[in-house]
Structure formats: structure tokens, C-alpha cells
Amino acid sequence: MELEGEEEGDDWDGEYESEDEEDLAAYAAAAKQAIEAQLFNETPTPAPTPAPKKLQNSKEAAAISTVRTILAALEHDSLAQSTLAASKVPELSDENLLDALRNMSTSGSVPRGAALPISRFLLTLAKSEVLFGTLRHSDASSLHLKRKREAADADERANKRLRIDNHPLTKEVAEAVRTISQTISTTQPLASTVISSIQPHLHRVFLFSHSSSSLPGLNTNALQEISGLIQVLGVISGTQIGQESQNILTAVYPCVVDGCGKFFSRLYSLRAHQAIHMWKCPGCDAVFPGREAFEKHKAPAEGNQAKAECIPAAPIEVKKAFRSEEEGEIEADVISEIQTAVLRLHTPLQTCVSRALGTPMSVPPTNGHATLASVIAQAQLAQSRAAPPPSAPATLSSVYGLSDEQTKQVKEAITNAASAAQAEAEAQAALEEDEEDAEEDEEGAS
């Protein structure tokens, strides 16, 4: 049955039309947007981008390091702090210097245009009499330098003393001097067996005193007499001292050129050194390496004839630069120290000889009689010329009580001992020269 008045299409069957679905979707979207706006009413602010850090160059880094060093030094100096705080830097808007330094240290940068005025300001303050006048006018720095110099001088003296004491020649001669001194001072009477027991030590001292007295000096006569006294002991005891090769190496080889005065431990080294002293013959203007070569030029080997103008000519030295230190050279301080040690034997040897001869030692005469030193000098001169020793008209009898025969024996003993030492040195030098020539030949062949 149908209700009257009811129109067609008024009934809803529970389903939406397509237009209704579109409206509902739009409404839902609007509702969602409204709810989200209410729930999230604060819009998030994006994080700020950090400003790029300024890179510090090497000069600025060095300046900051200096500033921090200054500030560290000021921590315990109230006067300097107050001075900097009272100092204004116009280029920094009248900021005081202390605050300017602290700001630079904190920021790690130097304001543009500030480096030069601050540097000048600090240099001006560094010259301040108020800050540093007391220190500048004190003698603290000079005292410090003086102490440093004194310490350096003390070190140099200690090193020099060590160098002298450790030199092989110093040790060898010093031991010989001690042995001789102890023996001749404690033994009475002085028997021939005693002299024989210390013969090597007497030989060592004889070689050194005889060879080192070749150069004139304050101790020349005393050294010559010591070498002579040693040979006197040999003569009166019947003991030969140094007249046979014993491979004793205490002889020294001085350069006798005026103004040189160098000593060498080997004849080979002396001859190598003598090449420094070039000699010119005024007769023919030829130049020779060493005085020995010049002498051979004046007196050539048999069969050759020297020029007439060269024979009487005296050589002229051609100066060459000296080397500071040469192979085989012995320092002058070492020679002087050893001579001082040897000279301590002078009086004991004099006493020993006088006691052995049974005569008191008298003062050397001046009435024409020869002193022992003069006899030694004559023997040395004869030995250097490779000629028999000249006969001395005077005797030593008035000095030590020696007879003429004993005096003659002493002179011969000195000459023989010196000649034996020279022959041994010549043989060693020749061997070294041959070795040098062989090495040069090998180098030339290669």
C-alpha cells in the first residue's frame, strides 16, 4: 500500500552517490588540515649556518705566540703591567696596550693595522729607563760574560794539561827522569851495575836533551850539560850509553830555520816540513826545497862542478805559508814541559858525578877552560857536519875533576851516541820515503 502524497525519489537506500563521495573527501581533507594546524602551531626554525672560521697565517700565528709570551712574562711584574695599562695606542681607539694584548691573545687574531704600532710601542718601552734601567746599568751581564770566559779558559787549560800529560813522549821521558832521580839519589856508592840497570833510561834522557838543545834558547846549555853528564856516568862506570841501536824513540828533530822552531818526532816528518822553507841560490837564482838540497847544490857529487858564483853564496829563504799542524809535529808546549822535567836532573846529576869522582863540584871557570856544555856543543857541531870532533885545548878537570883522557872519552861517547841515533833515524826515514814512492807508483799505474 502506498502512502498518499509521497513523491518518487524521496526514499534513501543507504548508498552514496558519486558526487556525495567527492564532497566527503574534500571535507575530510579540510578537517585534517585544520587539526594539524591546531596541533603543530609552531613552525620549526632552521639551524643557523656557522660563519666560516678565519684562517690564521704564519705571521699572525707568530705574532700571537709573541703576545702570549709577553703576557706570561708580565704575570709577576706589577710595574710592567701598570706601565702597559697606562699606555694608550691611538690606532686602537685609545685602547690601552695591556688590554689590547690580552684581547689579541683571547681572540687569536691581530686587528688590521694594529701590528706595526703595537710593535713600535713595545720597542719604545723596552728602552725605558723606568722598566729596565737598573738592569742595563748593572754589571750582571759583564760578570756573567767574565765567568763564562774564565770557565772556558779553565777548560782550555785542563784540556791542554791533559794533552801534554798523555803525549807518548811525555810519558816515556817522565818515567825515565823518575827512575834516574830515584836511583842516583838513594844509591851510594854508584856502582857500574847500578848505571847498567838504568842504562835505557839514561839513553832516553840523553837523546831528548841532546836533540832538543839543537835550537838556541834559555835552557840550551843546561840541556847540553845534562846529556854530557849522562855520558860522564857512562865513562866512569865503563857503561856505553846509547852507542848501539836500542830502538829508543825519544830523540826529537827541530827545524833550525830562523823563526820556525817546530819540532818533529821523526826525521821523515822534519824533511817533509822543510819543503815549506824554499831556498834560493843568489848565484844562479835556482830554488831548492830545503836547506839540505841547497848545500848539495853548492857541493855536488864527485864528477860534477858547481858554478863558481854559487859556492860562496849564502841561501835566501823564499817564504811560504806555514801549515798550522803537520804530520809528526810535536807541540811546543809538550817540548817545553819535557825539557822542564829533564832539567830537574841537572843538579842531581852534577852531585852524582862529583861524588863518583870524589871531587867537589866547582863553579865553571871563565879563564879559557872548557865547560862541559861547551864540550857538548863542539861534539854536536862536529856530528852535524859528519866530521871528527874538533880537539878542545881546554879540559874539564877544573870543573868536575876529569882527566884529559876522560874528557876525550866523554866527547867521543857523545859523538858516537848521537851518530848512532842519527843513523837509525836516517834508515827509518829512507824506509818511509821508499814506501811513499811505492804508493805513488801504484797510484800512477792505476
DSSP string, 283-320: TT--EEESHHHHHHHHSPPTT----TTTTTPPPEEE--
For residue 173, name the pLDDT band (cuts at 50, 70, 90): very high
3-class DSSP state for residue 263? strand
Lowest mean pLDDT among 7-16, 124-133, 184-193, 290-299: 7-16
Distance CA 263, CA 255 (A): 6
Closest CA to 184 of 204, 199, 171: 199
Q: Which residue has the higher pLDDT, 222 or 216?
A: 222
Residues 200 and 246 in one domain: yes
Q: Is 263 within 8 Å of 335 (Cβ atoms)?
A: yes
Secondary structure letter of residue 254 according to DSSP: E
Q: Is 138 part of any domain?
A: no
> Does the pLDDT of residue 114 top 90, yes or no?
no
Contacts of 309 (CB under 8 A, 6+ apart): 283, 284
Residues 311 and 372 in one domain: no
3-class DSSP state for residue 95? strand
Distance CA 270, CA 255 (A): 7
Distance CA 280, CA 289 (A): 9
Residues 214 and 344 in one domain: yes
Closest CA to 417 of 262, 187, 235: 235
> Does the pLDDT of residue 300 top 80, yes or no?
no
Give the model confidence (pLDDT) of 120-169 as tens digits. Answer: 777 777 666 655 555 555 555 566 767 878 888 888 888 888 989 999 99
Q: Is 181 within 8 Å of 348 (Cβ atoms)?
A: yes
Distance CA 336, CA 110 (A): 67
**Predicted pLDDT at 172:** 95
How many domains, in total, are found in the chain?
A: 3
Give the model confidence (pLDDT) of 55-107 as tens digits. Answer: 557 778 888 888 888 888 778 778 778 888 888 777 667 678 888 888 888 98
Q: Is 16 part of any domain?
A: no
Question: For residue 58, how far is the Cα from the chain centroid?
Answer: 40
Q: Is 32 part of any domain?
A: no
Q: Is 145 part of any domain?
A: no
Residue that finishes a domain, picked among 318, 347, 368? 318
Quick count: other Cβ atoms within 10 Å of Cβ 66? 14
Residues 197 and 282 in one domain: no
The H or E element that residue 104 is part of is helix 97-107
Cell triple for residue 394?
881546554
CA angle 31/33/39 to nearest 5° reads 105
Residues 228 and 195 in one domain: yes
Q: Is 213 within 8 Å of 229 (Cβ atoms)?
A: no
Cell triple for residue 366?
871563565
Query: Distances from the Cα of 21 to the Cαs of 17, 26, 65, in angstroms?
Result: 7, 9, 78
Give the model confidence (pLDDT) of 266-282 as tens digits. Answer: 999 998 888 788 878 88
**Predicted pLDDT at 205:** 95
**Predicted pLDDT at 12:** 42
Q: Is 146 part of any domain?
A: no
Q: Is 398 part of any domain?
A: yes
**Predicted pLDDT at 390:** 35
Percent pLDDT > 90 in the chain is 16
Residues 338 and 310 in one domain: no
Residues 292 and 425 in one domain: no
Q: Is 213 within 8 Å of 227 (Cβ atoms)?
A: yes
Q: Is 95 part of any domain?
A: yes
Quick count: other Cβ atoms within 10 Å of Cβ 360? 10
Contacts of 202 (CB under 8 A, 6+ apart): 176, 180, 195, 230, 233, 234, 241, 242
Distance CA 193, CA 50 (A): 106
Contacts of 58 (CB under 8 A, 6+ apart): none
Residues 423 and 386 in one domain: yes
Q: Is 263 part of any domain?
A: no
Range of the domain at 390: 166-254+331-438
Phi (first) and psi of residue 139, to 5 degrees: -100, 20
Q: Which residue has the higher pLDDT, 304 or 199?
A: 199
Distance CA 210, CA 377 (A): 9
3-class DSSP state for residue 253? strand
Residue that finishes a domain, picked among 263, 287, 318? 318
Residues 240 and 370 in one domain: yes
- For the segment 318-344, the average pLDDT, to the nearest whole number, is 84
Quick count: other Cβ atoms within 10 Å of Cβ 42? 5
Which residue in the block uniquely carries the three cell numbers 855520558? 231
Q: Which residue has the higher pLDDT, 70 or 309?
A: 70
**Predicted pLDDT at 50:** 52
**Predicted pLDDT at 334:** 94
